Amino acid sequence: MHDTDAQGNEFFKCDYCLRPWSEDRPMVEGHRGSLVCSSCLTVAYAEVVNAGVSTAPPAGATCAMCLEARKDPHWQSPTRPEAFICLRCIKQSARVLEKDAESGWQRPGRGSDSP
Ligand SMILES: [Zn+2]
Ligand SMILES: [Zn+2]
């Protein structure tokens, strides 16, 4: 999200943990300025994609990244319970971060059988 009361890096805050943007915390932008940081994406990816954990958003709630009410599995932010990210946005954001060489981000492995 964009915190209009803040200056500089503090202006950009992850919608899921509310931490500001920094050099070691790259972020992916969704619709209407929503943001997910690399650490939240790591947790979301590990839980939803690797472990198959899914939290169904309440009726009317949408994914903060695409603003769609999708039938996909969702990850719920522990910091901001009203913030969800859908499976599609987790995968899409993972691809964006991985392509960004400067981020150095890698999707979390599945354990011992990952390359
Ligand atoms: Zn975050
Ligand atoms: Zn989404």
Whole-number Å distance, alpha carbon 68 to ligand 2 midpoint, is 6
Closest ligand to Cα 57: 2
Does the residue 108 lie in any domain? no
Quick check: 100 pLDDT over 60? Answer: yes
Inside any domain, residue 93 = yes
Query: Is 84 within the bounds of a domain?
Result: yes
Report the number of distinct structural domains present in the chain. 1
28-87 pLDDT, tens per residue? 999 999 999 999 999 999 999 999 999 999 998 999 999 999 999 999 999 999 999 999
The reported pLDDT for the residue numbered 71 is: 92
- Residue 114 confidence class, pLDDT cut points 50, 70, 90: very low
Question: If you measure from the C-alpha of residue 60 to the centroid of ligand 1, how many angstroms do you get, rounded to a whole number?
Answer: 23
Evaluate whether residue 44 is within a structural domain. Answer: yes
Distance 54 CA to ligand 2 centre (A): 13
- Cα 63 to middle of ligand 1, angstroms: 15
List Cβ neighbours of 81 (8 Å cut-off, separation of 6 or more).
Answer: none
24 alpha carbon – ligand 1 mean position (Å): 12
User: What are the distances in angstroms from CA 30 to CA 24, 75, 86?
Assistant: 19, 15, 12
Residue 36 belongs to what domain range? 8-101
Residue 87 located in a structural domain: yes
- 29 belongs to a structural domain: yes
* Ligand 2 center–CA 84 separation, angstroms: 8
